[in-house]
Structure 1
Amino acid sequence: MANIKSAKKRILVNKTKADRNKAIKSGVKTSVKKVYTAIEAGDKAAAQAALLAATSTIDKAATKGVYHKNTASRKVSRLSKAVNQMA
C-alpha cells in the first residue's frame, strides 16, 4: 500500500477511471450483441435500429477516450457490413 499522499490519490483516481471505462466498454459490448442478435433473428429493421444505437454508443466511447478512434471505426464498419449483408 502506498504511503505518500499523492500516490494514495493516484490509486483512487485510477480506480475511478477504470470503473468508468469498464462500464462504457460493457455498454458497447451489450449494444454490439443486440445488433448480432437481431441479425441472427433475421429482423433487418431491428438490426438497423440496433446498429444506429450501437454506432452512437461506440462513437461516444471513442470521444471519451475509452477506445482509439481507429478501433471505434473498425467496430462500426464491421457491424455495418454485417447488417448490410443480411438477405
Structure 2
Amino acid sequence: MPNIKSAKKRVKVIETKTLRNQMVKSALRTYIKKFEALAENGNKAEAEAAFKIAVKKIDQAVAKGIVKKNTASRKKSQLALKLNKIGA
C-alpha cells in the first residue's frame, strides 16, 4: 500500500481507468459477437449494419488507446472478410 498522498491518488485513478477500459472492451466484444452471429445466419442486410457499428466501436477503442492500431486493422479486416463471404 502506498503511503504518499499522490501515490494513493494514482491507485484510485488507475482503478477507475481500468474499469472504464474493461467496459469499453466488453462492449466491443459484444458488438463483434453480434456481427458474427448475423454473419453466420447469412442475414446480409442486418450484418452490414452490425459491421458498421462494430467498426465504429473498434475505431473508438483505438482513439481511447484501449486497442492498438494494428490489432484494430486486423479485426476490421477479419470482419470485412466475413461480411464479403455472406453474399458468396
Superposed, 1:10-49 pairs within 5 Å as 10-49=10-49
What is the RMSD of the two structures over their aligned residues, measured on CA atoms?
A: 0.8
Give per-residue Cα distances to partners, 1:10-34, cap 9 Å, x unaligned.
Answer: 1001001101110110111010001
Aligned to 2:81: 81
Give, in angstroms, the shift of residue 44 of structure 1: 0.8
Counterpart-to-counterpart distance in 2, 1:77 and 1:57: 14
TM-score (norm 1): 0.95
Give, in angstroms, the shift of residue 40 of structure 1: 1.4
TM-score (norm 2): 0.94
Identity of aligned pairs, percent?
Answer: 49
Q: Unaligned stretches of 5+ in structure 2?
A: none
Give, in angstroms, the shift of residue 3 of structure 1: 1.1
Counterpart-to-counterpart distance in 2, 1:27 and 1:75: 15
Aligned to 1:50: 50
Q: Unaligned stretches of 5+ in structure 1?
A: none
- Aligned to 2:66, the other structure's residue is in SS state coil
Counterpart-to-counterpart distance in 1, 2:29 and 2:22: 10
Count of residue pairs brought into register by the alignment: 87
- Aligned to 1:65, the other structure's residue is in SS state coil
**Runs of 4 or more consecutive aligned structure 1 residues displaced over 6 Å after TM superposition:** none
